[in-house]
Amino acid sequence: MPVQQALRHLEAGYARFFQRLGRKPRFKSRRDRQSATFMKTAFRWREGQLTLALMKQPLAIRWSRALPSAPSSVTISRDAAGRWHVAFRVEVEPEPAPEPLRPAIGIDLGLMTLAVTSDGESVANPRWLRQRQHRLRRAQRALARKRKGSNNREKARRAVARLHARVADARRDHHHKLSTQWIRENQAIHVETLSVRGLARTRLARSLHDAAWGLLLAMLRYKAAWYGRDLVAIDRFFPSTRACSCCGGVGPKRALHVRTWTCDACGVTHDRDVNASQNILAAGHAVRAGSDPRRWPVEGMLDAPGLTRSATPVRQELAA
């Protein structure tokens, strides 16, 4: 059964690739996460106990929560740290979406702070990898001293993998809670499209991977579909940091260490990240209204819900 299911996964992967819905399936190493899926005819589920095909005794499982209904398929997986997990596919009734607290919110992602919203809320960057960097270096040095192929080297490799797994678990848990909060509280979420792959080639690569912007955006994408929310992506070349959210004037590029700046046109002093998130919010309103956000500011967008205007907006064409 697992071999048959692996072939089905391969067929589905190539079908998505040829339909341009995803990337080409890549080779999965034995050291990567391994999994096997069992359909309903290949396992037995009785009184909360799971027994796989060709097994006489049920699996010893430490449950995270009770199943709402009988499973239709079971996936057994093992990660690089040697931990085993069981995932059940069950049918559940969708939860009704809660009433949003705000009509829309703009989000500016960063590294010094993980995110800043258009209403001024700042989300700190926990820097999960940096917190465990000392332990990781010590474990990696111990791994380098072990002879290849020995049992001690395998133990050291698993110790390194366990540390990485704890970092990934903490990061994933944080992003799940944050994305769920944003989705439940807002009818529309406006974010920038980011070239994470391109930015990962810079000296900020480690910090970028630690922040995991792509993971956070992916969670927002599928949770927005679940709850019936609108996720609006703003073009990455939109000058959210350079434009003034009050008058629309577009200034020069500024170094990353410049956290506040004053608009030459209207004299308003801005926090760099809050101003960018407010510009993203306004540009998202423009996209939803069918306007071109490159014409900044779009007439009437500065009067949209969630934005305050302290100066008369001036229409200004952005340089191509």
Amino acid at site 315: R
| The one catalytic residue among 119, 273, 299, 303 | 273
How far, in Å, CA of 51 to CA of 122, rounded?
A: 48
CB atoms within 10 A of CB 47: 5
Q: Are 136 and 221 in contact (CB under 8 A)?
A: no
How far, in Å, CA of 284 to CA of 188, rounded?
A: 9
Q: How many helices (H) and strands (E) does the chain have?
A: 8, 14
| The one catalytic residue among 108, 169, 264, 292 | 108
How far, in Å, CA of 99 to CA of 228, rounded?
A: 11
Q: Assign 11 to helix, strand or coil.
A: helix
How far, in Å, CA of 315 to CA of 202, rounded?
A: 35
Residue whose pair of structure tokens reads 């072990």 in the numeric block = 146
**Residue 271 annotated as catalytic:** no
Residue whose pair of structure tokens reads 């700190």 in the numeric block = 124
Closest listed residue to residue 239, CA positions, set 176, 175, 291, 282: 282
Cis amide prior to 58 (ω within 30 degrees): no
Does an H or E element contain 85, and which? strand 84-89
Q: What angle do CA 100, 288, 94 make, to 5 degrees?
A: 40
How far, in Å, CA of 62 to CA of 52, rounded?
A: 16
Q: Assign 312 to helix, strand or coil.
A: coil
DSSP letter string, 64-111: SS--SS--SEEEEEE-TTS-EEEEEE---PPPPPPPPSEEEEEEEE-S
Residue whose pair of structure tokens reads 């095909």 in the numeric block = 53
**Residue 273 annotated as catalytic:** yes
As given in the structure block, the two tokens for residue 256 are 């990353």
| The one catalytic residue among 192, 210, 264, 292 | 192
**Residue 108 annotated as catalytic:** yes
Q: Which residues are catalytic?
A: 108, 192, 273
